[in-house]
């Protein structure tokens, strides 16, 4: 069964969105989209180091993503606006990573596959990494859900309840680094942030509770992954970007439905 590349690609896509969509809700709630960008762009440097040192790609990307996230967390609030700091770190990390890759003269590397993903080339070992990483992220989010939610909505209330917001930020940072490491093969470092924030943003208008938003975002992202794979296969388009395009279309439809519903509600009340 797993010898079929489309089956492996589908399993890889679903495994990735299972981790990315629920975590993406916290990224949207905390307005951390640029934070995700900085972490994802740093993964290119991790890939270069992994290839140079003959280490697994997952390990290098995870370590460098964690280092980047930690640096951003330490530098925040020290005289720099957060969006400025994240913009500098994100693009600097990507530039250093691309330069580092250029020094790998004795190693053949398909840079486009790492930038935009190569889900159709997923192997059984890659599936193990993706689903293992997804299980870790889901376990972390489920374990700390209440504490993460409280510290996200009201840090002062979290402190009063004995919850350390900085500790929850570290948990979120770890989960984000794992998602970046496992999603590289599927959508590439340039599109990982879209996998995090777009499904959550699309689910937001239809969700009355945080839990419902996480569930709806996951279902929408899984449908987009499967739909993107079929569309890519049917029309011979790049698979990773096609998946993100499907998610973007779902967001547009969500926004339209939300706008129409608000307009109808306003007319009814008027």
Q: What pTM was computed for the model? A: 0.87
pLDDT-derived band at 24 (thresholds 50, 70, 90) equals very high
Q: What is the pLDDT of residue 109?
A: 72
pLDDT, average across residues 156-172: 88
Taking the C-alpha atoms of residue 86 and residue 84, their distance in angstroms, rounded to an integer, is: 6
pLDDT, average across residues 182-186: 86
**Numbers of helices and strands, H then E, in the chain:** 12, 0
Q: What is the pLDDT of residue 25?
A: 93
In the chain the first and final C-alpha atoms are separated, in Å, by 58
pLDDT, average across residues 41-67: 84
Could you tell me the sign of the dihedral formed by the alpha carbons of 136, 25, 196, 34, in that order?
A: negative
Q: Does 150 have pLDDT greater than 60?
A: yes
- Tens of pLDDT, residue by residue over 204-221, are 988 889 999 999 999 999
Q: What is the pLDDT of residue 270?
A: 58
Q: In the chain, what are the domains?
A: 5-193 (1.10.3470.10)
């Amino acid at each position: 069964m797993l010898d079929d590349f489309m089956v492996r690609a589908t399993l890889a896509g679903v495994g990735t969105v299972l981790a990315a969509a629920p975590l993406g809700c916290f990224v949207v709630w905390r307005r951390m989209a640029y934070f995700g960008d900085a972490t994802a762009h740093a993964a290119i440097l991790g890939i270069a180091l992994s290839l140079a040192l003959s280490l697994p790609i997952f390990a290098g990307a995870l370590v460098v993503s964690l280092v980047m996230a930690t640096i951003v967390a330490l530098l925040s609030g020290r005289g720099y606006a957060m969006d400025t700091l994240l913009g500098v770190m994100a693009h600097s990390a990507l530039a250093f990573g691309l330069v580092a890759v250029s020094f790998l003269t004795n190693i053949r590397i398909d840079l486009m596959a790492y930038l935009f993903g190569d889900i159709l080339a997923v192997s059984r070992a890659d599936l193990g990494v993706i689903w293992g990483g997804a299980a870790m992220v889901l376990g972390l989010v489920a374990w700390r859900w209440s504490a993460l939610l409280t510290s996200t909505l009201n840090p002062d209330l979290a402190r009063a309840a004995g919850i350390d917001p900085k500790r929850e930020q570290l948990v979120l940072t770890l989960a984000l680094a794992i998602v970046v490491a496992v999603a590289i093969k599927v959508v590439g470092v340039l599109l990982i942030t879209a996998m995090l924030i777009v499904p959550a943003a699309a689910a937001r208008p239809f969700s009355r509770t945080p839990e419902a938003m996480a569930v709806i975002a996951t279902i929408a992202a899984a449908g987009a992954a499967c739909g993107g794979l079929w569309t890519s296969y049917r029309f011979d388009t790049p698979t990773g970007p096609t998946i993100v395009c499907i998610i973007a279309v779902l967001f547009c439809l969500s926004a339209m439905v939300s706008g129409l519903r608000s307009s109808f509600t306003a007319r009814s009340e008027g």
